[in-house]
């Protein structure tokens, strides 16, 4: 997980890396050197620098009181074992109390129990710790299965609030079924399926699912974004997950988006930049998305933006921008950032790959910049204090925010 980290702060972290020290006079270090009597300086021996760096890192971590990676893995393993033991005990207790209980009845019980248990850890948890809690949820579920003798039919997520999902269903029924199968493994209060014109025949089948709500328009929707915006209007959950109806994503990964939004992020985005390759191959739409983030002071978001499914929004975010804003994703992104809402990127969750028509990206971004520039001035606070435009009779365009005070 990462959020909008500025390029500046990234540079600082690199600057902070200590340069490797090479002993003066080429002093030989290590058992191999003394055995062979080598007088070659440390840096000259193959692999020596790497060994030294590794040992120095371990040393620093020990000196600063941090736990080593091996120790962390062992601790995580023991935590998982502990959660599994607790799950087994809780599962056995539930089984004893509900001898005729079904798996569908077991899941809400396990979900509630897990949320209560994880709640104490969740209050002050870092992103890494929240991610680990999701893994521990699987261990706890395994324990429940062991104790109750029944499989928990979904993911156990430490969610304080309610969650729902919105999916736009296109023409591919087979893929939609796979998508819904994953979504049904999540503790969602409802799944809103927005039916495109080609998916309307599936309505009867979909309504047989207890948590699915369908909505459709005989005229269809202008874009998948417009369809999801229509679906978002129907749900009142605390967190809303937006998923691609044509590309299934594992419930375990979708759960990370929900947990992060439930923990306080207003928008949690899937990571598309990792798939896009080098800058020159990414294309104009990606450049526009990234530049919009840069101009709104969030370069750390790279080319990730609302609209790239899957993503999750908090109720606060939906109320702030309005569900209809999602019809134009760049506008929604600009609105979120301009409102000071917290936007995070979940590195573990890949972008589904849903594509729009190329010209729509330009429309979305021009609308986004039009809003921002109208509200916050021609340069969005990027200063131009040193230019003497008077020497050339004004120059430039727009209001003179950030210009030389004498101009």
Partner 1 sequence: MKDRTGSDRFPRRRRARPPAHRKRALPAGKGRASARPARRTARRPSAAAEPGAVQGADRTGARGEEAWRPPAVSVIIPVMNEKRTLARVIREAYRVHPRTEVIAVLNGSTDGSLAIAKASGARVLAFDRPLGHDVGRAVGAREAAGDTLLFVDADMVIPAARLRDFTEAIERGTDIALNDYSGPRKRPVVHNVILAKHALNALLGRPDLEGASMTAVPHAMSRRALAAIGAEALAVPPLAMTKAIHAGMNIKRVRHIDVGSLNRPRTKRERTGSLEPLIIGDHLEAIGWWLKRDGSGPPKPAAEALGGDGA
Among 277, 319, 339, 375, binds partner 1 (CB under 8 A): 277
Q: Which is nearer to partner 1, 79 or 373 (CB)?
A: 373
Crossing angle, helix 284-295 and helix 358-376, to 10 degrees?
Answer: 20
* Residue 216 near residue 195, CB atoms below 8 Å: yes
Q: Which is nearer to partner 1, 169 or 309 (CB)?
A: 309
Contact letters (x/-) for partner 1, 94-123, by CB under 8 A?
Answer: ------------------------------
Sign for the CA dihedral angle at 333, 336, 338, 344 comes to: negative
SS3 for 369? helix
C-alpha span between 296 and 337 (Å, rounded) = 7
Burial of 168 (0-12, 13-18, 19+ CB in 10 A): buried
- By CB under 8 A, the count of residues binding partner 1 is 61
Among 239, 286, 314, 335, binds partner 1 (CB under 8 A): 286
C-alpha span between 345 and 3 (Å, rounded) = 6
Q: Which is nearer to partner 1, 121 or 366 (CB)?
A: 366
Asked if 215 interacts with partner 1 (CB under 8 A), we say no
Contact letters (x/-) for partner 1, 329-348, by CB under 8 A?
Answer: x-------------------
Q: How far is the CB of 82 from partner 1 (least distance, A)?
A: 40
Q: Name the segment binding partner 1 (CB under 8 A); options: 103-111, 163-171, 200-208, 352-360.
A: 352-360
Contact letters (x/-) for partner 1, 355-394, by CB under 8 A?
Answer: xxxxxxxxx-xxx-xx--x----xxx-xxx-xxxx-xxxx
Among 279, 319, 339, 375, binds partner 1 (CB under 8 A): 279
Q: How far is the CB of 192 from partner 1 (least distance, A)?
A: 20
Asked if 5 interacts with partner 1 (CB under 8 A), we say no
Asked if 16 interacts with partner 1 (CB under 8 A), we say no
CB neighbours of 298 closer than 8 A, spacing ≥ 6? Answer: 4, 337, 343
Q: Which is nearer to partner 1, 64 or 359 (CB)?
A: 359
Tokens standing for residue 178: 């796979």
* Residue 296 near residue 334, CB atoms below 8 Å: yes
Asked if 9 interacts with partner 1 (CB under 8 A), we say no
Selection from 167, 328, 183, 170 nearest residue 235 by Cα: 167
DSSP state of 238: S
Asked if 288 interacts with partner 1 (CB under 8 A), we say yes
Tokens standing for residue 315: 């109720």
Q: How far is the CB of 358 from partner 1 (least distance, A)?
A: 4
Selection from 264, 351, 261, 359 nearest residue 302 by Cα: 351
Among 295, 313, 332, 336, binds partner 1 (CB under 8 A): 295
Q: Any idea of the CA torsion for 87, 92, 98, 102, to the nearest 10 degrees?
A: 60
Tokens standing for residue 369: 């910049």
Binding site for partner 1 (CB under 8 A): 7, 273, 276-280, 282-291, 294-295, 299, 302, 305, 307-308, 329, 354-363, 365-367, 369-370, 373, 378-380, 382-384, 386-389, 391-398, 402, 404
């Amino acid at each position: 997980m990462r959020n909008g980290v500025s390029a500046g702060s990234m540079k600082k972290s690199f600057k902070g890396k200590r340069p490797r020290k090479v002993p003066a006079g080429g002093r030989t270090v290590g058992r191999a050197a003394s055995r062979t009597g080598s007088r070659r300086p440390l840096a000259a021996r193959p692999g020596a620098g790497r060994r030294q760096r590794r040992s120095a890192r371990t040393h620093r971590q020990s000196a600063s009181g941090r736990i080593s990676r091996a120790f962390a893995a062992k601790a995580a393993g023991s935590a998982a074992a502990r959660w599994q033991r607790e799950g087994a005990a809780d599962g056995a207790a539930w089984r004893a109390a509900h001898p005729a209980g079904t798996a569908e009845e077991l899941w809400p019980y396990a979900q509630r129990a897990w949320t209560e248990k994880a709640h104490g850890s969740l209050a002050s948890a870092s992103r890494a710790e929240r991610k680990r809690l999701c893994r521990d949820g699987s261990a706890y579920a395994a324990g429940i299965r062991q104790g109750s003798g029944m499989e928990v039919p979904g993911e156990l997520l430490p969610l304080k609030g309610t969650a729902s999902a919105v999916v736009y269903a296109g023409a591919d029924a087979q893929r939609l079924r796979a998508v819904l199968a994953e979504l049904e493994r999540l503790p969602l209060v409802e799944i809103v399926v927005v039916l495109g014109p080609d998916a309307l025949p599936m309505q009867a089948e979909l309504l047989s699912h207890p948590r699915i709500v369908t909505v459709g328009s005989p005229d269809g929707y202008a874009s998948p974004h417009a369809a999801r915006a229509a679906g978002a209007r129907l749900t009142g959950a605390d967190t809303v997950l937006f998923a691609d109806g044509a590309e299934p994503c594992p419930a375990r990964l979708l759960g990370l988006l929900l947990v992060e939004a439930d923990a306080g992020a207003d928008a949690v985005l899937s990571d598309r930049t990792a798939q896009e390759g080098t800058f020159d191959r990414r294309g104009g739409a990606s450049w526009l998305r990234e530049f919009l983030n840069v101009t709104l002071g969030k370069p750390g978001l790279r080319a990730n933006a609302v609209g790239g499914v899957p993503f999750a929004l908090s109720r606060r975010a939906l109320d702030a921008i309005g569900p209809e804003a999602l019809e134009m994703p760049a506008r929604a992104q600009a609105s979120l950032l301009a409102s000071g809402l917290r936007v995070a990127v979940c590195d573990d969750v890949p972008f589904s790959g849903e594509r729009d028509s190329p010209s729509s990206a330009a429309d979305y971004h021009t609308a986004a910049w039009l809003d921002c520039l109208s509200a916050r001035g021609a340069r969005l606070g990027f200063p131009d204090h040193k230019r003497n435009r008077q020497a050339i009779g004004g120059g430039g365009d727009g209001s003179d925010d950030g210009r030389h005070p004498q101009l």
